Homo-oligomer: A and B are copies of this chain.
Protein backbone atom coordinates (compact mmCIF):
# COMPACT_ATOMS: atom_id res chain seq x y z
CA UNK A 1 0.00 0.00 0.00
CA UNK A 2 1.77 3.06 -1.23
CA UNK A 3 1.57 5.97 1.10
CA UNK A 4 2.72 8.03 -1.80
CA UNK A 5 0.59 7.22 -4.82
CA UNK A 6 2.71 6.18 -7.76
CA UNK A 7 0.69 8.22 -10.17
CA UNK A 8 0.07 11.86 -9.74
CA UNK A 9 -3.27 11.59 -8.03
CA UNK A 10 -4.17 14.94 -9.43
CA UNK A 11 -2.49 16.80 -12.19
CA UNK A 12 -0.26 19.46 -10.77
CA UNK A 13 -2.10 22.27 -12.53
CA UNK A 14 -5.30 21.01 -10.92
CA UNK A 15 -4.27 21.71 -7.39
CA UNK A 16 -2.53 24.82 -8.48
CA UNK A 17 -5.62 26.08 -10.21
CA UNK A 18 -7.77 25.53 -7.19
CA UNK A 19 -5.17 27.12 -5.00
CA UNK A 20 -4.88 30.01 -7.39
CA UNK A 21 -8.58 30.79 -7.37
CA UNK A 22 -8.56 30.42 -3.60
CA UNK A 23 -5.83 32.96 -3.44
CA UNK A 24 -7.63 35.25 -5.86
CA UNK A 25 -10.77 35.10 -3.77
CA UNK A 26 -8.85 35.81 -0.58
CA UNK A 27 -7.17 38.78 -2.19
CA UNK A 28 -10.47 40.14 -3.40
CA UNK A 29 -12.03 39.70 0.03
CA UNK A 30 -9.10 41.38 1.72
CA UNK A 31 -9.31 44.27 -0.67
CA UNK A 32 -13.00 44.71 0.05
CA UNK A 33 -12.32 44.42 3.76
CA UNK A 34 -9.66 47.11 3.84
CA UNK A 35 -11.57 49.35 1.52
CA UNK A 36 -15.07 49.26 2.92
CA UNK A 37 -14.85 47.67 6.33
CA UNK A 38 -16.31 44.44 7.43
CA UNK A 39 -19.83 45.04 6.15
CA UNK A 40 -18.51 45.48 2.63
CA UNK A 41 -17.24 41.93 2.40
CA UNK A 42 -20.35 40.07 1.37
CA UNK A 43 -20.44 36.81 -0.48
CA UNK A 44 -21.82 38.35 -3.63
CA UNK A 45 -19.39 41.24 -3.61
CA UNK A 46 -16.45 38.89 -3.10
CA UNK A 47 -17.65 36.55 -5.83
CA UNK A 48 -18.12 39.50 -8.14
CA UNK A 49 -14.70 40.94 -7.42
CA UNK A 50 -13.05 37.57 -7.90
CA UNK A 51 -14.95 36.90 -11.11
CA UNK A 52 -16.98 33.87 -10.09
CA UNK A 53 -20.33 32.95 -8.62
CA UNK A 54 -21.41 32.84 -4.99
CA UNK A 55 -21.72 29.04 -4.83
CA UNK A 56 -18.06 28.73 -5.73
CA UNK A 57 -17.14 30.40 -2.44
CA UNK A 58 -18.93 27.68 -0.56
CA UNK A 59 -17.16 25.00 -2.53
CA UNK A 60 -13.83 26.64 -1.75
CA UNK A 61 -14.28 27.69 1.85
CA UNK A 62 -17.40 25.85 2.94
CA UNK A 63 -18.69 28.85 4.78
CA UNK A 64 -18.46 32.57 4.98
CA UNK A 65 -16.74 32.10 8.31
CA UNK A 66 -14.28 29.85 6.54
CA UNK A 67 -13.59 32.54 4.01
CA UNK A 68 -13.02 35.13 6.70
CA UNK A 69 -10.79 32.75 8.59
CA UNK A 70 -8.75 32.21 5.46
CA UNK A 71 -8.51 35.96 4.98
CA UNK A 72 -7.37 36.50 8.55
CA UNK A 73 -4.85 33.72 8.36
CA UNK A 74 -3.44 34.91 5.09
CA UNK A 75 -3.12 38.48 6.29
CA UNK A 76 -1.47 37.45 9.52
CA UNK A 77 0.97 34.99 8.03
CA UNK A 78 1.90 37.54 5.43
CA UNK A 79 2.63 39.96 8.22
CA UNK A 80 4.65 37.34 10.07
CA UNK A 81 6.68 36.56 7.00
CA UNK A 82 7.46 40.22 6.45
CA UNK A 83 8.49 40.58 10.05
CA UNK A 84 10.70 37.51 10.03
CA UNK A 85 12.51 38.91 7.04
CA UNK A 86 13.49 41.88 9.15
CA UNK A 87 14.25 40.06 12.37
CA UNK A 88 17.91 39.01 12.26
CA UNK A 89 19.78 36.75 14.60
CA UNK A 90 18.52 36.33 18.17
CA UNK A 91 19.63 38.95 20.60
CA UNK A 92 18.49 40.20 23.98
CA UNK A 93 15.24 38.28 24.57
CA UNK A 94 13.60 41.22 26.31
CA UNK A 95 14.38 43.42 23.36
CA UNK A 96 12.81 40.70 21.23
CA UNK A 97 9.69 40.94 23.33
CA UNK A 98 9.54 44.68 22.85
CA UNK A 99 10.12 44.33 19.13
CA UNK A 100 7.38 41.75 18.82
CA UNK A 101 4.99 43.98 20.70
CA UNK A 102 5.83 46.92 18.49
CA UNK A 103 5.35 44.79 15.41
CA UNK A 104 1.92 43.49 16.34
CA UNK A 105 0.80 46.94 17.43
CA UNK A 106 1.98 48.26 14.11
CA UNK A 107 0.06 45.51 12.39
CA UNK A 108 -3.12 46.44 14.21
CA UNK A 109 -2.67 50.11 13.47
CA UNK A 110 -2.10 49.67 9.76
CA UNK A 111 -4.65 46.89 9.21
CA UNK A 112 -7.48 47.85 11.53
CA UNK A 113 -10.22 45.99 9.68
CA UNK A 114 -8.14 42.84 9.50
CA UNK A 115 -7.14 43.09 13.13
CA UNK A 116 -10.71 43.60 14.25
CA UNK A 117 -11.67 40.61 12.18
CA UNK A 118 -9.15 38.52 14.06
CA UNK A 119 -9.44 39.82 17.60
CA UNK A 120 -12.68 41.75 17.56
CA UNK A 121 -15.01 38.95 18.53
CA UNK A 122 -13.70 36.47 21.07
CA UNK A 123 -15.93 33.68 19.83
CA UNK A 124 -14.20 32.97 16.54
CA UNK A 125 -10.53 33.25 15.72
CA UNK A 126 -9.03 30.26 17.57
CA UNK A 127 -7.12 29.22 14.45
CA UNK A 128 -5.34 32.49 13.72
CA UNK A 129 -4.62 33.72 17.19
CA UNK A 130 -3.14 30.35 18.08
CA UNK A 131 -0.42 31.07 15.55
CA UNK A 132 0.27 34.39 17.19
CA UNK A 133 0.25 32.82 20.62
CA UNK A 134 2.73 30.19 19.49
CA UNK A 135 5.15 32.86 18.37
CA UNK A 136 4.62 34.74 21.59
CA UNK A 137 5.26 31.59 23.59
CA UNK A 138 8.53 31.14 21.75
CA UNK A 139 9.66 34.57 22.82
CA UNK A 140 8.52 33.99 26.38
CA UNK A 141 10.44 30.73 26.47
CA UNK A 142 13.63 32.45 25.46
CA UNK A 143 13.14 34.96 28.26
CA UNK A 144 12.57 32.11 30.67
CA UNK A 145 15.69 30.37 29.40
CA UNK A 146 17.66 33.50 30.17
CA UNK A 147 16.27 33.44 33.69
CA UNK A 148 14.46 36.72 33.23
CA UNK A 149 10.83 35.62 33.46
CA UNK A 150 8.96 36.82 36.51
CA UNK A 151 5.75 34.78 36.11
CA UNK A 152 4.71 31.41 34.78
CA UNK A 153 5.05 31.00 31.02
CA UNK A 154 1.37 30.55 30.18
CA UNK A 155 0.42 33.47 32.36
CA UNK A 156 3.07 35.61 30.72
CA UNK A 157 1.67 34.80 27.30
CA UNK A 158 -1.81 35.77 28.36
CA UNK A 159 -0.61 38.99 29.98
CA UNK A 160 1.23 40.13 26.88
CA UNK A 161 -1.64 39.09 24.66
CA UNK A 162 -4.22 40.91 26.75
CA UNK A 163 -2.12 44.05 27.06
CA UNK A 164 -1.47 44.21 23.33
CA UNK A 165 -5.12 43.59 22.50
CA UNK A 166 -6.27 46.27 24.89
CA UNK A 167 -3.71 48.70 23.56
CA UNK A 168 -4.66 48.22 19.94
CA UNK A 169 -8.39 48.16 20.51
CA UNK A 170 -8.43 51.36 22.54
CA UNK A 171 -6.05 52.92 20.07
CA UNK A 172 -8.51 52.15 17.30
CA UNK A 173 -11.50 53.22 19.36
CA UNK A 174 -10.11 56.68 19.99
CA UNK A 175 -10.83 59.16 17.20
CA UNK A 176 -7.72 59.77 15.19
CA UNK A 177 -6.76 63.27 16.32
CA UNK A 178 -6.86 62.28 20.00
CA UNK A 179 -4.67 59.24 19.70
CA UNK A 180 -1.72 59.37 22.03
CA UNK A 181 1.39 57.34 21.19
CA UNK A 182 2.42 57.50 24.84
CA UNK A 183 -0.37 55.06 25.56
CA UNK A 184 1.34 52.40 23.51
CA UNK A 185 4.77 52.74 25.07
CA UNK A 186 3.29 53.05 28.55
CA UNK A 187 1.39 49.80 28.13
CA UNK A 188 4.40 48.14 26.58
CA UNK A 189 6.72 49.07 29.42
CA UNK A 190 4.08 48.17 31.94
CA UNK A 191 3.75 44.73 30.43
CA UNK A 192 7.54 44.28 30.20
CA UNK A 193 8.12 45.06 33.85
CA UNK A 194 5.20 42.85 34.84
CA UNK A 195 6.39 39.86 32.88
CA UNK A 196 10.13 40.10 33.14
CA UNK A 197 12.35 40.46 36.15
CA UNK A 198 14.46 43.46 35.62
CA UNK A 199 14.08 46.50 37.75
CA UNK A 200 12.43 49.28 35.79
CA UNK A 201 14.48 52.38 35.52
CA UNK A 202 12.80 54.42 38.23
CA UNK A 203 12.78 57.82 36.75
CA UNK A 204 12.69 60.75 39.07
CA UNK A 205 9.31 62.41 39.04
CA UNK A 206 10.55 65.96 39.63
CA UNK A 207 7.81 68.56 39.74
CA UNK A 208 5.42 66.54 37.59
CA UNK A 209 3.62 64.79 40.44
CA UNK A 210 3.15 67.94 42.42
CA UNK A 211 1.99 69.78 39.30
CA UNK A 212 -0.63 67.14 38.65
CA UNK A 213 -1.79 67.26 42.24
CA UNK A 214 -2.10 71.02 42.14
CA UNK A 215 -3.96 70.91 38.86
CA UNK A 216 -6.46 68.46 40.28
CA UNK A 217 -6.91 70.63 43.37
CA UNK A 218 -7.25 73.89 41.46
CA UNK A 219 -11.04 74.02 41.17
CA UNK A 220 -12.26 75.01 44.58
CA UNK A 221 -9.60 77.53 45.50
CA UNK A 222 -10.15 81.26 45.25
CA UNK A 223 -6.69 82.73 45.67
CA UNK A 224 -6.27 83.19 41.92
CA UNK A 225 -8.37 85.03 39.39
CA UNK A 226 -9.94 83.29 36.45
CA UNK A 227 -7.25 84.46 34.03
CA UNK A 228 -4.41 83.56 36.38
CA UNK A 229 -5.94 80.15 36.87
CA UNK A 230 -6.09 79.50 33.16
CA UNK A 231 -2.48 80.46 32.61
CA UNK A 232 -1.46 78.39 35.62
CA UNK A 233 -3.32 75.39 34.22
CA UNK A 234 -1.34 75.72 31.01
CA UNK A 235 1.96 75.82 32.86
CA UNK A 236 0.98 72.86 34.98
CA UNK A 237 0.23 70.91 31.86
CA UNK A 238 3.72 71.64 30.60
CA UNK A 239 5.28 70.75 33.94
CA UNK A 240 3.44 67.45 34.19
CA UNK A 241 4.31 66.32 30.70
Instruction: Using CB atoms and an 8 Å cutoff, list the residues of chain A in contact with chain B.
Output: 116, 119-122, 125, 129, 141-142, 144-155, 158-159, 161-167, 169-174, 180, 182-183, 186-187, 189-191, 193-194, 197, 200-202, 205-218, 220-221, 223-224, 228, 232, 235, 238-241
Cβ–Cβ contact A145 & B210, under 8 A: no
What would 16 A/B residue contacts be, using CB atoms closer than 8 Å? A122-B172, A144-B215, A150-B205, A151-B182, A152-B212, A153-B216, A162-B166, A163-B190, A190-B190, A193-B193, A201-B209, A202-B210, A206-B217, A206-B220, A207-B214, A223-B239
A126 to chain B, nearest CB (A): 9
A210: chain B residues at CB < 8 Å are 147, 201-202, 210, 213-214, 216-217
A163: chain B residues at CB < 8 Å are 162-163, 166, 187, 190
A217 to chain B, nearest CB (A): 4
Cα(A116)–Cα(B122), bound, Å:
9
A166: chain B residues at CB < 8 Å are 161-167, 169
Cβ–Cβ contact A174 & B191, under 8 A: no
